[in-house]
Amino acid sequence: MSIKANMVTTSKLTGRELFHKIGQPKKILAPMVDHSELAWRILSRKYGATLTYTPMLHARLFATSEKYRKDMWGSLDGDSKVDRPLVVQICGNDPEYVLKTALLIQDKCDAIDLNLGCPQGIAKKGHYGAFLMDEWDLIHKIIKTLHENLSIPVTAKIRIFPEPEKTLDYARMVLNAGAQILTVHGRLREQKGQKTGLADWSIIRYLRDNLPKDTVIFANGNILYPEDISRCLKATLSDGVMSAEGNLYNPAIFNVDNCEDKEKAFPRVDKILREYFEIVKKVASESPASRRAFKSHVFKILRPFLAHHTDIRSVVASMDGKSTLDDWETKVIKPVENIVSELCTKEKDKDIIETGPLQSWGGSYKTVSYWRCQPYFRAVNGVTGDKRQQQQEHEKEDRNESASVKKRKVMELSS
């Protein structure tokens, strides 16, 4: 295969110009494999997202397989009335395939994003995403090829290296190749799954302080609650904040102006489920990806609820490709609505959002009623992330107390 595109000679938008053209977005829905599809993007915009990304599109498959294209991209994707502003993310390691895919889709989006951040096994096997981090020449070639041949800007999403200086050199290379906006996920390639850990906002701030002032930077990582978006903007001085997993479990995470309103910041699961279901019904015929992702989204929306209502969890698990949307409404949507409605009457006095003490990472954990959308904390050896963090804090306090006692005894003996 050879590149058929002609080098674009007309001037394109710079990163800062693009940022202004699409409304200076500060609340950004991340690209997520099989999860940031059309219906979810529409729902997320309704709850405050001001820019959305598509799921990762595999360059070689999109360029060569008509079936893959139809499965991943429908007539309403990128539609100017329902799905903009929009950035399409592409993964791949071959400049020609990445460009061919981008050329097929550039008229239906505002920018093309190169995935340099996916740390999952599928990316390692396919040799793309974060597993290109050590191949700077190849990354430069891919971005430059897109920059020189597309009519719209190219952007990139990266992960950090342990060393701030190396991350800065990496970011400079990506920008010099032609990327107009840089999204920085403040985690290492190794930080995934049970090893996720905290994102390092200080390195994002380091990039902000050392890259050209007009560089547009989006920060990604550590967004559990709506107020974390404001904290991240202040700490990193980034232009916008991206949420992935936080949004999946609570699409209202972008409601930063209503942090104290539980109905807007932590909506009831039945309300979100109904709204999402109605959107899927409207777009399913034109968006196979939205229909295919539905069951996975239902599990995530209902995660805190299903632990208390295992009968509903069993029903959701039993739904398959033969289950119609009518089946979903009868067997899942309406039963959930009935249960939550009853809970809100009987357990009204328990429906209180409680904020815990300030943590070392700058925010606080919250206790939220199980029938409301809320963050998900992965369990490692049976202990969830929030509890691990609290354990680490207690251990640190114990060490400090022991050191203080030892110091006092030494002083007493020497007096």
Q: Give me the active site residues, please.
A: 118
**Tokens representing residue 268 in the block:** 């009831």
Unique residue bearing structure tokens 């904040």:
241
Please say whether the beta carbons of 14 and 50 come within 8 A: no
Tokens of residue 237, six digits: 């001085």
Element (H, E) at 276: helix 269-283
DSSP-derived pairing of the beta strands 111-116 and 86-91: parallel
DSSP string, 44-68: HHHTT-SEEEPPPEEHHHHHH-HHH
E-strand spans in 203-359?
216-220, 240-243, 354-358
CA torsion sign for 157, 152, 97, 25 is positive
Longest dimension (CA), the chain: 85
Residues 6+ apart with CB under 8 A from 192: 119, 120
DSSP 330: I
What residue spans of 150-195 are helical by DSSP H? Answer: 164-177
For 398, what's the count of Cα atoms within 13 Å in the CB-facing half-sphere?
6
> Rounded to the nearest 5°, which phi and psi values hold at 185?
-85, 115
Neighbours of 362 (CB within 10 A): 14
8 A C-beta contact, residue 393 and residue 359: yes
Are 148 and 10 a contacting pair, CB within 8 Å? no
Instruction: Report which of 307, 249, 253, 239 is spatially closest to residue 273, judged by C-alpha positions.
Output: 249
For the record, the structure tokens of 258 come out as 């209503």
